[in-house]
């Protein structure tokens, strides 16, 4: 059975995260929904193409689109790598309030931070540790 999880991560990390995302999807039954690539984002397309003035998608569209993705998934995977990412933390709070499991991959050394511990169902300090755990233990009935 394929599970869908929302993938929250910093914009600046999108290329490395996308490469990892595509790999884990091939190796597991997990489908990660990435808000930068799995919904129409002309601003991200422009950034990735090197266009100097990207077509900015307004917040009135970005936030509801992201929240709709979170709501339809079984849970959320949050990449906390030390890059600034206000959106990732907001997405975690919504998932928490909607009682969705939150799997935080914290590579910034802040895995003991009270707010992360409180909102996370489980914390991993590497993508590899998350992949091993999710492969062996994932159940959509968690939380």
For the chain (143 residues), the mean pLDDT of every run of 10, in chain order, is: 87 92 92 89 86 84 93 96 91 97 95 95 97 80 42
Q: Look-up: residue for tokens 């990390």?
A: 13
pLDDT at 91: 97
pLDDT at 87: 93
pLDDT at 65: 92
- Measured between alpha carbons, how far is 45 from 136 in angstroms, rounded to an integer? 35
pLDDT at 41: 84
- The domains of the chain are located at 3-137
pLDDT at 143: 43
Inter-residue contact 35 to 66 (CB < 8 Å):
yes
Q: Which CATH class is domain 3-137?
A: alpha beta
Predicted model pTM: 0.89
11's CB contacts (< 8 A; 6+ apart) are 36, 85, 87
pLDDT at 38: 85
pLDDT at 55: 83
Q: Look-up: residue for tokens 């595509």?
A: 22
């Amino acid at each position: 059975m394929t599970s869908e999880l929302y993938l929250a991560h910093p914009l600046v990390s999108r290329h490395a995260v996308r490469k990892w995302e595509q790999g884990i999807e091939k190796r597991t039954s997990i489908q990660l929904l990435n808000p930068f690539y799995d919904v129409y984002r002309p601003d991200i397309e422009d950034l990735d193409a090197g266009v100097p003035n990207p077509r900015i998608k307004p917040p009135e569209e970005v936030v509801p689109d992201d929240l709709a993705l979170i709501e339809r998934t079984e849970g959320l995977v949050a990449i906390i790598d030390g890059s600034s990412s206000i959106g990732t933390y907001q997405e975690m709070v919504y998932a928490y309030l909607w009682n969705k499991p939150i799997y935080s991959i914290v590579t910034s050394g802040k895995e003991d931070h009270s707010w992360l511990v409180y909102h996370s169902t489980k914390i991993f300090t590497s993508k590899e540790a998350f992949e091993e755990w999710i492969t062996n233990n994932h159940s959509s009935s968690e939380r």
